[in-house]
Amino acid sequence: MTKIIEMTNVTWKRQGKEILHHMNWQVNKNEHWAVLGLNGAGKTTLLNMVNGYIWPTTGEVSVLGNKFGKTDIHQLRRSIGWVSSSFGEKVNGRHVAEDIVVSGKFAAVGLVFADPIEADFEQAREWMKLLGVEYTYGRPYEKCSHGEKQKILIARGLMANPKLLILDEPTNGLDFIAREELLATIDRIATQKNAPTIIFVSHHIEEVLPIFTHTLLLKEGTVFAKGLRNEVLTSDNLSRLYGKNIEVDWRRDRAWMTLV
């Protein structure tokens, strides 16, 4: 089985504190994972490690078969699509949507130092179409709604045909309709031919769509539970994760949570 992510006994220390400790996590090809945990549980730290922005203090990390310490991290990053709100803040709002999308091919924030060809813009249009934002072609990024911006950033993340697509809380700040639309586009990406492996971080269990085969629950910098989505998203696990009495109901193959 091809391994997409392999973390073995990973620890990451800062200022004498173990922010991640004894993390063991494997993601295989043809799996898509949702990652949940309270604020400060270590989700962003974990993703920063997958992307090679930080390295383990102890333990081993291998991403797409590249073992950290024996690989060119910059090269590896070209195979990873990364969508996070912190990136969105760096974007120059005056740039038009398709330029933002095409910049993903060059792993750049804009196109100032890039040399795109016509085919790149055709490809960008295809991704924008898949995400349902083709109509924003030619529109400055700052004139797009929050939901449109999120989709443009996901299209950007797909531009390099990544093997791994990381979506860090992409539904933040979206209204109910925009959120469901964005989730529908994630579903479309996952069900395409040669789809990348998706890692999706969220605070809301109902966003863990059926395409997510697996779920990782993080607590205090380590694995609290991991495995098949339906086996992990249970009333018992979530009650223990959040320290509250929580009931999970399944409707239309999605889990919904109530505090009881």
Ligand X SMILES: Nc1ncnc2c1ncn2[C@@H]1O[C@H](COP(=O)(O)OP(=O)(O)OP(=O)(O)O)[C@@H](O)[C@H]1O
Q: Which residues bind ligand X (CB under 6 A)?
A: 14-15, 19, 37, 39-45
Query: Which of 40/93 has CB closer to ligand X?
Result: 40
Residue with tokens 């295989």: 28
d(CA 42, CA 234): 21
Q: How far is the CB of 221 from ligand X (least distance, A)?
A: 7
Query: Which of 41/96 has CB closer to ligand X?
Result: 41
Q: Are 35 and 218 in contact (CB under 8 A)?
A: yes
* C-alpha dihedral, 129 to 201 to 238 to 212, nearest 10°: 50
Q: How far is the CB of 67 from ligand X (least distance, A)?
A: 23
Query: Which of 59/97 has CB closer to ligand X?
Result: 59
Q: Are 197 and 164 in contact (CB under 8 A)?
A: yes
Query: Which of 17/252 has CB closer to ligand X?
Result: 17
Q: How far is the CB of 197 from ligand X (least distance, A)?
A: 20
Q: How far is the CB of 15 from ligand X (least distance, A)?
A: 5
Residues linked to residue 35 through DSSP beta bridges, in sequence order: 201, 216
Query: Which of 86/191 has CB closer to ligand X?
Result: 86
Q: How far is the CB of 204 from ligand X (least distance, A)?
A: 12
Q: How far is the CB of 37 from ligand X (least distance, A)?
A: 5
* C-alpha dihedral, 104 to 105 to 110 to 116, nearest 10°: -150
Which alpha helices (H) appear in 2-88, and where do they start and end? 43-50, 73-77, 85-88
Q: What tokens does 209 get?
A: 């769509």
Residue with tokens 């490690």: 49
Helix (H/G/I), strand (E/B), else coil: 38: coil
d(CA 152, CA 141): 9
